[in-house]
A and B are shown apart, each in its own frame.
Chain A
Amino acid sequence: EIVMTQSPATLSVSPGERATLSCRTSQTVSTNLAWYQQKPGQAPRLLIYGASTRATGIPARFSGSGSGTEFTLTISSLQSEDFAVYYCQQYNNFPPWAFGQGTKVDIK
């Protein structure tokens, strides 16, 4: 079973600044990794799949990179609507489909 580790647990960022979130997997997942955004009271929304491909309608300020066991989600210039919790998920080895524990991006 693959274990997902996200860091940091909380990231405090000012609007307009860059945010860099990390996800590490206990085994290689190739590029079969997705990032989701979740706001309070809402369902998760797919942001990135294939480690680096933006989902439909996702702004270009969101970018993903990495392969194997180390992945990064970058938000180039944080907007007010980007303050949320972000989860990574691997879909290379399953079941189970594992999620990271989340990184909360809040306002500095």
Chain B
Amino acid sequence: AQKVTQAQTEISVVEKEDVTLDCVYETRDTTYYLFWYKQPPSGELVFLIRRNSFDEQNEISGRYSWNFQKSTSSFNFTITASQVVDSAVYFCALSETLSAGNNRKLIWGLGTSLAVNP
């Protein structure tokens, strides 16, 4: 069965601190995709990154970076020099391949609520 675990329910940091959000996944698929989404208080889910199972390169986008390690089934997300605007719930998700056509269902973690305090 596919599963995504975000063990950190809530994290609170002070502005400018670095913070890492953990994500561990389980899947039997050899081809899969991992995602991070940000959900600010307004409620909209904002797509941050997609990573496929064949690409273990780490990625950096501004203050955001992602560390994908298949050996430990982890896809961790680090925010460097956090800012108050980073305060949100962050969801990690795994894309499941369905048997019908090309439809893919997302398996979601429970989310990590990040509070960045001034």
Are A and B physically bound partners? no
- Chain B positions within 8 Å of A, measured between CB atoms, are none
